[in-house]
Amino acid sequence: MKVLLAVDGSGFSKLAERVIAKQYRPENTEVCVVHALEWHRAIPACFSFARGNTYGPQFDSAMKKSREQAAVLVSSVAHALQERGFRASTAVVEGDPVFVILGRAAEWGADLIVMGSHGHTGLNRILFGSLSRAVARGAPGAVEIVCVSRPERTNKGAIDGEFLEPIRGCHAECQDFKSHH
């Protein structure tokens, strides 16, 4: 089975990694760890107002640093999966996360896309959107969204090594996924 794991460095994507390790057999599973690098989020806002001859080198330096951080992220996730016996590869792709995830999944021939959900609801979902919802709606195949129940939904807990059990259907967003896939 070919599983594309979309990561963003949050505790929620760390939880998705753990779910793969728990649910799938390493000898039958190949994982591609993907991170979408969005420049408008990776580059400091101060560059929007930059002028003069120092702008170019500073911008290049910030872009290089973002690429390096993304490479470290996907490499560390792939390494953790490899230590558990999975075959794992990595990809850092520049662009909109929805298009990057769906494009890479199609290009690689993924059987399944796995990703964590931040679980934005209400106004936050309107303001920030829902990446996992957009991927689930656009994916030609199966998508597994890993989310946690509301009282446990903290980035800190998952990052610090607490294993937060995934709860499918823990909020309205996950309920919607059940009806679409």
pLDDT value at residue 112: 96
**Band of pLDDT at residue 53, cut at 50, 70 and 90:** low
**Averaged pLDDT score across all residues of the chain:** 77
| Placement of tokens 């959107």 in the chain | 129
Q: Which residues is 94 bridged to in the sheet?
A: 37
Read off φ and ψ for residue 27, nearest 5 degrees. -70, -20
pLDDT value at residue 10: 86
**Band of pLDDT at residue 78, cut at 50, 70 and 90:** very high
130-145 in b/e burial notation, b at 16+ Cβ within 10 A?
Answer: bbbbbbbeebeeebbb
**Band of pLDDT at residue 147, cut at 50, 70 and 90:** confident
pLDDT value at residue 75: 97
Of 1 and 62, which is predicted with more confidence? Answer: 1
Q: Burial of 152 by CB count in 10 Å (0-12 exposed, 13-18 middle, 19+ buried)?
A: middle
Residue 92 has pLDDT above 50, yes or no: yes
Domains of the chain from N-terminus onward: 2-180 (3.40.50.620)
Q: How far apart are CA 113 and CA 110, in angstroms?
A: 7
Q: Which of 12-16, 33-37, 101-105, 118-122 shows the lowest per-residue confidence on average (mean pLDDT)?
A: 118-122
End-to-end CA distance of the chain: 18
- Write out pLDDT tens, residues 164-173: 444 333 333 4
CA angle 31, 39, 140 (to 5 degrees): 40
Residue 131 has pLDDT above 80, yes or no: yes
**Band of pLDDT at residue 125, cut at 50, 70 and 90:** very low
For the chain, how many residues are written? Answer: 181
CB of 115 closer than 8 Å to CB of 13: yes
Q: Which residues is 88 bridged to in the sheet?
A: 31
